[in-house]
Structure 1
Amino acid sequence: MPTPYGDGIFHTQNIMQFADDVREATDGEINITVHSANSLFGHAEIKDVVRQGVVPLGEILLSRLANEDPIFGIDSIPFLAASYDDAAALWEASRPAVEEKLAAEGLSVLFAVPWPGQSLYLRQPVTHPSEMEGLSFRAYNVATERLAELLGAVPTQVEESDIPTAFSTGRVEAMITSPSTGANARAWDFTSHYIDTQAWLPKNIVLINSSALQGLSDEAQEALMTAAAAAEERGWRMSMAETEEKIAALADGGMEIMEPSDALAERLTEIGGTMTAEWLEEAGDAGQAVVDAYNDLR
């Protein structure tokens, strides 16, 4: 089983526990060997090698597939689902559509686990949306460029490895990323304020080749799916714990941890509506059905 992330990442730790659970539940009939940190296949290759049956199962970031179908990018629309509760509702609403599209490629979903939510990092406090106007805002894809534009900020392309230098030289003044990335990059060395927006909670998804799954005995399939359900529940708890731990690390580093002001929260909600509408233009009726189901669950 190839995975993209290192052994110290909670996603990988959860998957290793999943492998242990499956091995124990099947008395070794299913023995999953986890190859972490892109050591067997690179992230970009994992979906295809599972689909082709080169390996039976693997883990990817779901939104990496958004260029194949907009449905795969629904969990990365800013401010559509900006909390763990909303992210869980969004996954419940979108899972059938995700499963249907992957099934057409011979892939089955085992489980999905979110990363901590994306939040704002700034060199000064911001309590009103107008204070974002004109700030150089780190962008790394089309969505973050659009987010910057809607905030009135200036999108600036900066690779993750260049973030500290870009801030220290004034090339960027704001960014949005997870507390995990911020803590690992020692964001307190170049920013001072963290606004806990949890703008989106992108998920990793564990996929299995459908033929490989169907080739297992009924008992083994049941054991595998039971362990997968447990891994999903455990993984969400681990993600929440990671959020708390990394925000605490940011505070320990000297950053001021803030909730968005009412005015900023209102503007961010408006931006979420705009970006959801733009996504729906691409996703069409299938996307609208998922968003409607999500709104019914909230």
Structure 2
Amino acid sequence: MSVEQPAGNFISRVAVEFARNVRQATNGQLNIRVHPNSTLYRRPEVKAAVTRGDIQLGDVFMSALGNEDPIFELDSLPFLASDYEQARKLWAVSREAVERRLLADGMRLVYAVPWPAQSLFSNRPLRTVEDVRDLRFRSYNPTISRLAHLLHARPTTINTEDVPQAFREGLVDIMLTSSATGMDLRVWDFVSHFYDVRAFIPKNIVIVNERAFQRLPVAQRRALLHAGERAERAGWELSWALTGYQTRMLARRGMTVVQDIDPQLRRELTEVGQQITEEWLARAGEEHAQIIEAYLDEPPR
């Protein structure tokens, strides 16, 4: 099982516990070896590796698949779902569509874990969106690239493990990512400001090759899916619990942490987010648009 994050990251820890639960439930008959820190495959390669069967399971940042289908971008539309209650609600109405899309490519969804909300890390103060103009904006999916364009910044695709060097070499000036990633990367060594804008809560999904899954005995299939349910519950709880703690830790490391966001900056960012959502609706098709409608109409679950 390929996992992008370092071993100490909470998503990697959830994966290790998932593998342990599978092993225990099958009396050691089904063993999953977790390989963290992209030691098997880097982010762009994982889904294809699972599809081919080179590896049986992989942990994938869902919105990085946005070029394949708009459904994968849904959790990364800025300010559509920016707290955990909203994120749970959005996942509840969109999960079935994600599962169908993955199965069409020969993969099965096992579980999903949310990141803490994505916020801005910058090497300079920000008061309005004009302060973002012409900055090199780290991108990791099509939505972030579009966000950067609308902010008149310059999107630059950088894998997570390459971020510190990119900042030090002046290839990146600003990025939108979680406090968890900030802790993993020790961002205080190369970035000065953290703006807790909480733009959206994206997810990592764990996928299994469907052919490999179907070859398992029925009892092992059930054990794997049950362990996935446990992993998803644990991942959501852990992500939520870590959010405030990690923000405090960034401040203790000497970063300027801004939680009272300037109203003008928040308003301008929200307007850009609304435009991105409208563009997504225009190209997503009626079926995906109905998911947004269900999200906006349904009470939280």
Would you call these one fold, judging by a TM-score over 0.5? yes
Q: Any conservation in 1 of the 2:50–2:208 contact (CA below 8 Å)?
A: yes
Evaluate the alpha carbon distance shift between residue 213 and residue 185 of structure 1 in structure 2; reply closer, same or farther with a 3 A threshold: closer
* CA–CA distance in structure 2, aligned partners of residues 198 and 277 of structure 1: 20
Q: Residue 73 of structure 1 corresponds to which residue in structure 2?
A: 73
Once the two structures are overlaid, the 10-residue window that deviates more, 270-279 or 137-146, is 137-146
Matched, 1:12 2:25: no
Q: Residue 236 of structure 1 corresponds to which residue in structure 2?
A: 236
Q: What is the identity, as a one-letter code, of the residue corresponding to 2:289?
A: Q
Once the two structures are overlaid, the 10-residue window that deviates more, 104-113 or 81-90, is 81-90
Q: Residue 205 of structure 1 corresponds to which residue in structure 2?
A: 205
**Which residues in structure 2 correspond to 1:75-114 (within 5 Å)?**
75-114=75-114
Shift of 1:57: 2.0
Q: Residue 282 of structure 2 corresponds to which residue in structure 1?
A: 281
Evaluate the alpha carbon distance shift between residue 64 and residue 187 of structure 1 in structure 2; reply closer, same or farther with a 3 A threshold: closer
Q: What is the identity, as a one-letter code, of the residue corresponding to 1:255?
A: M
Q: Any conservation in 2 of the 1:2–1:40 contact (CA below 8 Å)?
A: yes
Evaluate the alpha carbon distance shift between residue 158 and residue 65 of structure 1 in structure 2; reply closer, same or farther with a 3 A threshold: closer
* CA–CA distance in structure 2, aligned partners of residues 48 and 194 of structure 1: 34
Once the two structures are overlaid, the 10-residue window that deviates more, 95-104 or 4-13, is 4-13
* CA–CA distance in structure 1, aligned partners of residues 280 and 9 of structure 2: 30
Evaluate the alpha carbon distance shift between residue 67 and residue 252 of structure 1 in structure 2; reply closer, same or farther with a 3 A threshold: same
Q: Residue 294 of structure 1 corresponds to which residue in structure 2?
A: 295
Shift of 1:137: 5.1
* CA–CA distance in structure 2, aligned partners of residues 279 and 135 of structure 1: 24
Evaluate the alpha carbon distance shift between residue 55 and residue 131 of structure 1 in structure 2; reply closer, same or farther with a 3 A threshold: closer
Q: What is the identity, as a one-letter code, of the residue corresponding to 1:250?
A: L
Q: Any conservation in 1 of the 2:46–2:60 contact (CA below 8 Å)?
A: yes
**Which residues in structure 2 correspond to 1:1-298 (within 5 Å)?**
1-122=1-122, 126=126, 129=128, 132=131, 134=133, 136=135, 138-140=137-139, 142-151=142-151, 153-155=152-154, 157=156, 159=158, 160=163, 161-166=165-170, 172=173, 174-188=174-188, 191-259=191-259, 260-297=261-298, 298=300
* CA–CA distance in structure 1, aligned partners of residues 12 and 48 of structure 2: 20
Q: Any conservation in 2 of the 1:3–1:12 contact (CA below 8 Å)?
A: yes
Evaluate the alpha carbon distance shift between residue 22 and residue 191 of structure 1 in structure 2; reply closer, same or farther with a 3 A threshold: closer
- Identity of matched residues, %: 38
Greater Rg by CA: 1
Shift of 1:60: 1.5
Shift of 1:113: 0.7
* CA–CA distance in structure 2, aligned partners of residues 130 and 7 of structure 1: 36
Q: What is the identity, as a one-letter code, of the residue corresponding to 2:294?
A: A
Shift of 1:244: 2.7
Shift of 1:130: 5.9
The alignment covers a number of residue pairs equal to: 292
* CA–CA distance in structure 2, aligned partners of residues 20 and 247 of structure 1: 30
Q: Any conservation in 2 of the 1:82–1:197 contact (CA below 8 Å)?
A: no
Evaluate the alpha carbon distance shift between residue 179 and residue 31 of structure 1 in structure 2; reply closer, same or farther with a 3 A threshold: same
The secondary structure found in structure 1 opposite 2:37 is coil
Instruction: Give a deviation string over 1:155-200, Cα, whole Å, max 9, x none.
Output: 3648522214539xxx84x442222333444444555442211212
Instruction: Give a deviation string over 1:101-146, Cα, whole Å, max 9, x none.
Output: 111122111101122221123456555x466464635243653343
